[in-house]
Amino acid sequence: QSVLTQPPSVSGAPGQRVTISCTGSSSDIGAGYDVHWYQQLPGTAPKLLIYGNNNRPSGVPDRFSGSKSGTSASLAITGLQADDEADYYCQSYDSVVISWVFGGGTKVTVL
Amino acid sequence: QITLKESGPTLVKPTQTLTLTCTFSGFSLRTSGVGVGWIRQPPGEALEWLADIDWNGEETYSPSLKRRLTITMDLSKNQVVLTMTDMDPVDTATFYCAYRRASHYFAHWGRGSLVSVTS
């Protein structure tokens, strides 16, 4: 069972906006540790999508954005496109158990 | 350009020890703040962080797997090695190594190495 909680799936029509939540606790996100997001396209390795809550690595479209508040974080995808179909994982750090922690992943489906 | 590549057996038997090697380029593990982590993903399941080693040689392990894991680095070969003892079929997974710089995120990942545990 993953430490961070994500919805198993979200879906939207092309062009729509979808959001993915990531809920942690007082020992990880709530302790002030940043949240990072990864995109995993089918059959490929995860790729860093958002780091430090709301920063995009070079090459990531500004359709992807992140936010964090309290013990939770969110990833938003605007202008949903067919090639956004992938699994998305949030990740943070747990200071109590001294571990990097991941969410259970969210599958995004473009209708 | 930072690249990482995992190598090791694709098949191991139950109770055996798994040894995986991550060979990297484009960065040095002598650089302050740099680390390399191992993450696994069972088929159809989520990512699970396993272990990390940093530029200072500091090792960190998943609490639930600590007794079975060892991570080491060979700076002369630009390699990080993960060993996992007492393998079980539930350990079947794709194992990834990833580059971490200063902060707590993994900026670059290898393509992964699928390891199946079966008798």
Q: Give tens-digit pLDDT for A73-108.
A: 999 999 999 999 999 999 999 999 889 999 999 999
The dihedrals phi and psi of A110, each to the nearest 5 degrees, come to -100, 120
* Beta-strand pair A106-110/A9-12: parallel
CB atoms within 10 A of CB B31: 11
For B55-95, how does the pLDDT look when each residue is reduced to its tens digit (9 = 90+)?
Answer: 999 999 999 999 999 999 999 999 999 999 999 999 999 99
**CA of A13 to nearest chain B CA: how many angstroms apart?**
24
Q: Which of residues 86-105 of A touch B (CB under 8 A)?
A: 89, 91-93, 97-105
Helix runs in chain A, H state only: none
Contacts of A103 in chain B (CB under 8 A): 46
Assess A37–B contact: CB distance below 8 Å, yes or no: no
Give the residue on A whose Cα is nearest the Cα of B47: A102
The answer to whether the beta carbons of residues B25 and B75 sit under 8 Å apart is no
Distances (CA, A) of A26 to A2, A33, A72, B63: 15, 10, 10, 18
d(CA A17, CA A10): 11
A31 touches chain B (CB under 8 A): no
Measured between beta carbons, the chain B residues lying within 8 angstroms of A47 are: 109
